[in-house]
Amino acid sequence: MSRLRLFVPLLAGASFGDRSWAALGAGLGVLFASIVGLAVQASYSGLPYLIAPIGASAVLVFAVPASPLAQPWPVFGGNLVSAAVGVAMAQSIDNPMLAVGVAVCLAIIAMSVLRCLHPPSGAVAITAILGGDAISKAGFAFPVTLVAANSAALLAMGWLYHRFSRHSYPHKPEPVVEMSAPTGLLREDIGKAIAESGETFDIDLNDLEGLLIRAEAISAVRQRSDAGSDYSI
């Protein structure tokens, strides 16, 4: 049994069934992005029909659709912004190794300012520099054509796919409702706890608040039940 634990997903709430459906959705999403990319390739000869980082974007969109990093604006905006930064660095810095380092650095800053942080976009910035002659020749047409087309197609399939899954996409946190047991937990308490931890967590604050309040209420009900059982004994 200890060996089987190696196959248990590390993400909370994940199940093998969810991952299986996510894998199917990601495959369909990448396939659709490739088909749309063929139209771009027809106009810009030499460009690939798909950028590799779309595969990483697909993992987020389909496997963890509630993640703030997987929402439509981070996927679309993050990829385009990072591609543009990569093109700018490729045209400004002759040394490719230095260019990719500066590009990823600036891409993270730009995505943070524009509230569209998306991890695979760091690879998009590198692709704009090391992707080959066709991408270099395309220049700033690369982000507004191929990157935009691939990203939009993936998001369209993600939106359609999650209409039939048990997940909302774009993700909308469930409203926090009063539980059967009173709780003393406030949003300010959660914010302070996060600030004191010094860490960044990949979860929406509304989702986190709802989970903690629900867990606190469930715990209160359980403790009352346990106390009643002890008393009856």
Within-domain flag for 91: yes
Domain co-membership, 58 together with 108: yes
User: 30, exposed or middle or buried, with CB in 10 Å at 0-12, 13-18, 19+?
Assistant: buried
Residue 209 in any domain: the answer is yes
Residue 181 domain flag: no
The pLDDT, as a whole number, for residue 99 is 98
Instruction: Using the predicted structure, report yes or no on whether residue 217 has a pLDDT greater than 80.
Output: no
Q: Per mean pLDDT, which range of 60-64, 71-75, 217-221 is the poorest?
A: 217-221
**Confidence at residue 17, expressed as pLDDT on a 0 to 100 scale:** 78
Question: Are residues 115 and 202 located together in one domain of the fold?
Answer: no
Residue 73 reports pLDDT greater than 80: yes
149 shares a domain with 211: no
The label of the residue with tokens 């990319």 reads 37
116-164: pLDDT as tens digits? 999 999 999 999 999 999 999 999 999 999 999 999 999 999 999 999 8
Same-domain check for residues 99 and 194: no
Looking at the structure, do residues 150 and 37 belong to the same domain, yes or no?
yes
- Domain shared by 195 and 145, yes or no: no
pLDDT tens-place string over residues 20-44: 889 999 999 999 999 999 999 999 8
For residue 4, tell me if it sits in a domain: no
Q: How many distinct structural domains can be found in the chain? A: 2
Q: How far is CA 59 from CA 55, 93, 108, 115, 173, in A?
A: 7, 32, 20, 20, 20
Contact 123, 53 (CB under 8 A): yes
Average pLDDT across the chain, whole number: 84
The Cα-based distances of 150 to 1, 31, 93, 105, 135 in angstroms read 42, 10, 27, 23, 15
Domain boundary among 146, 161, 176: 161
Residues 195, 133 share a domain: no
If asked whether residues 104 and 148 sit together in one domain, one would say yes
Question: What percent of the chain has pLDDT above 70?
Answer: 69
Taken as a whole, the chain contains a residue count of 233
Q: What is the DSSP string of 124-135?
A: HHHHHHHS-HHH
Q: Is residue 3 a part of any domain in this protein?
A: no
* 173 in a structural domain: no
Does residue 221 sit in the same domain as residue 112? no
Are 148 and 214 found together in one domain? no
Per the CB < 8 A criterion, the answer to whether 124 and 82 are in contact is yes
228 with 136, same domain: the answer is no
Which residue type does 117 have? L
Residue that is last in its domain, among 126, 161, 196: 161
Mean pLDDT of 64-85: 95
Asked if pLDDT for residue 1 goes beyond 50, the answer is no
pLDDT at 2 over 90: no
How many whole angstroms separate alpha carbon 84 and alpha carbon 59? 23
Instruction: Please report whether residue 131 resides in a domain.
Output: yes
**Residue 231: pLDDT above 60?**
no
pLDDT band at 55 (very low <50, low <70, confident <90, very high): very high
Residue 20 forms part of a structural domain? yes
Q: Most confidently modeled of 3-12, 133-142, 161-170, 217-226?
A: 133-142
Structural domain boundaries enclosing 213 = 187-232
| Residues 183/220, Cβ–Cβ less than 8 Å | yes
- Tell whether 58 and 109 lie within a shared domain: yes
Q: What is the mean pLDDT of residues 57-72?
A: 93
What tens digit of pLDDT does each residue of 166-207 get? Answer: 888 998 766 655 555 455 666 677 667 666 766 555 566 666
